[in-house]
Structure formats: structure tokens, C-alpha cells
Amino acid sequence: MSDGISFAVSATDGAARLGALATPRGVIRTPAFMPVGTAATVKAMYPEAVRALGVDVVLSNTYHLMLAPGAERIAALGGLHKFMNWPHPILTDSGGFQVMSLAKLRKLSEKGVAFQSHIDGSLHELTPERAMEVQRLLDSDIQMQLDECVRLPCRPEEAERAMRLSLRWAERSKSAFGEQPGRAIFGIVQGGAEKELRISSARALVAMGFDGYAIGGLAVGEPQSVMIDMVETVIPHLPEGQPRYLMGVGAPDDLLQSLARGIDMFDCVMPTRAGRHGMAFTRRGRLNLRNARFADDPRPIDPSSSSPVARTYSRAYWRHLVKSGEILAMMGLTEINLAYYQDLMAGARRAIGQGRLSAFIDETRLAWREGEAEDT
């Protein structure tokens, strides 16, 4: 790995790993869930409040920050950490997901992606070289290669085309990353739902010598069984001594099933987006606070949560805030959800260290089922 960056596994339980990814800006305890701060903010949360939940690292996005306020501007203002008042590790997504999600606004070529801005219609080009330049300007700690993500299901030949292009972009991204002591670059395994393509992608990336490896192109329309199958397919072909990152996967059960198979890092907008729309994640399952049954419910959201607001205010009060469109509902439920995700990861880390991950997963899933049955 790059000078100043190291990854160590301190315990295993089956395929699951308890580890630590050390960077100059702090240690990322793994398995880790990274809240998404796309535009230099975890929506509805102050950075200090995010940190207080036990978060070690957040994710921001190359494409969005390139458009506004601009990578050069952020660099002139002291870099992304100073700009958003987050002195801890930051991972930046290269913009590959937007190649898929903004397909109607882009043209793809061997060189890169030409985008029409979703903000003002202006034209921009994102090549592997420009993606790495933007991430260097942002001064992110973990930088991602530019790749092409395809939506599933897709034809095998389309998955192969995108995977081969992503490998060529991986070589260019790594070359453009150059030498950055204290920073890391991760390659991204692609290949759709095709096992042989996934294996070929993983082997080629490992041969290039990245600092860590992500599995991309999942949680994009496929069932959980396909996602797990792809994780199980790829893991044996990744180095044991380097971090493994499953991109964009965030349903709690998906996290547990994936970390049990050897994944170290996750990110997803699910907990923050759900909070802004009246959904709370708890140890007893999900609560849709728009539901009328919570109108007279005096119980707290989750009396076992690490978040004080989850333990203090009633479900009836949260429902009132949600139905009234109050900003406090978005703020409070986002905090509650991120606290739940951090609590879930902390519980998994403890369980791996104690050699009881399987029991922890069974207990967690049982509590979800019992809680959901209780609230029907």
C-alpha cells in the first residue's frame, strides 16, 4: 500500500474480518459503514454530529463536487477536509456510478465520459485522468478509479464491454494517481452478474497492484441472491492483506451477509435518504413513521440506540414532525438511522472478535422479525 496507509486484520470469524485501515488522518475500523456526503455534506447532519455517532470515514463524490463548487475552488480553500470541517478520512467515488445514473445526460467513449450538467446543462468531460486530478485536488484519502457501472440485469456482452473498458480506465487511473504518500487508490471489480467476467476483472486489477479493491455494479436492480453470489465469486481472487469494499450496498441484512463473506467497507445513501422520508431503522426492524398507528405511540424509536434522540422522543412525536414536514424530522431521523448503522457495525466487530458472528446475525435478524410482527 502507499506510504502512510496500512491495513491489518486482527481477528477472523469464518470469512469475516476484524480489521483497521490506518491513514494519516485516522484509523478506519472495519467492517465499516461510510455515510454518504455526496456534495461535501452528510445531508441534514453537522460533521461534528456525524463523528459523535462513531463514524470514522465519510464518502464524497467526484462528479458532483467537480460541478459545484468545483475542485479547483475547494483546493484553493484548503481542500475538502477543511472545506467541510471533517478532519478525518474521506473516500471519494470517482463518478462511475453517474455514468449509469445520468445515462441520458452523457456520451461514453474510450477517452471517458462527456456529461451535460444536471444543474445547468453545461458540458463537462470526465476521463480517468480528470477523475484522479479532481480527487487529488480534493485531497481525499482513498481515491477510486473511474469505471463504468451497468444496471442489472443486462446482457453478458454488455457487461463484458463495460468491464473491459473499466479495466483500461483502471490502468489509466492508476497511472494518473501516481505517487501520493498517505493516500490510497482502489480498483473496482466489474462484470455484471457474470461469474467469469467478475473473476477476470478481479485478477486483472490485482495484477495492476491497487491499494484496495472494490466490488462495484451491485445493488443496481438485482436480487440479494445475485449480489451474494457475486461477492462469493470475487472474494477468493482478492488479496487477503488488503481492504475489500462493496460499493453502494446498504440494506442492513445485505451488510451482515456481505461482511460475513469477507467484505470490510460499505457505503449507501439508504439510511440518510430513508430518514428524510420518515423511515427509521431500529433493532426491532424498520418503522414507517407516516403510518397512522404511530400517532398515539408513546414509546421511543429505539431505547437501545446510541443516539439520545432515538431514546428520548416518542414515536408519536416523530410521526407528528414527519406529517408536518418539519425540518427537525429529517435531522433527527437521519441521526437515528446513522446511529443504527454504526451500532450494527460495532456489534459485528465485537462479534467477530469474540468468534460469535453467526449468533450475532441470527439474534439481529430475529429481533427484526419480532419487532415487525409486533408492529403489524
**Active-site residues: which are they?**
93, 267
What would the 3-class secondary structure string for the chain be? CCCCCEEEEEEEECCEEEEEEEECCEEEEECEEEEECCCCCCCCCCHHHHHHCCCCCEEEEHHHHHHCCCHHHHHHCCCHHHHCCCCCCEEEECCHHHHHHCHHHEEECCCCEEEECCCCCCEEEECHHHHHHHHHHHCCCEEECCCCCCCCCCCHHHHHHHHHHHHHHHHHHHHHHCCCCCCEEEEEECCCCCHHHHHHHHHHHHHHCCCEEEECCCCCCCCHHHHHHHHHHHHHHCCCCCCEEECCCCCHHHHHHHHCCCCCEEEECHHHHHHHCCEEEECCEEEECCCHHHCCCCCECCCCCCCHHHHHCEHHHHHHHHHHCCHHHHHHHHHHHHHHHHHHHHHHHHHHHHCCHHHHHHHHHHHHHHHHHHCC
Burial grade of 155 (CB within 10 A; 0-12, 13-18, 19 or more): exposed
Alpha-carbon distance of 299 to 293, in angstroms, equals 12
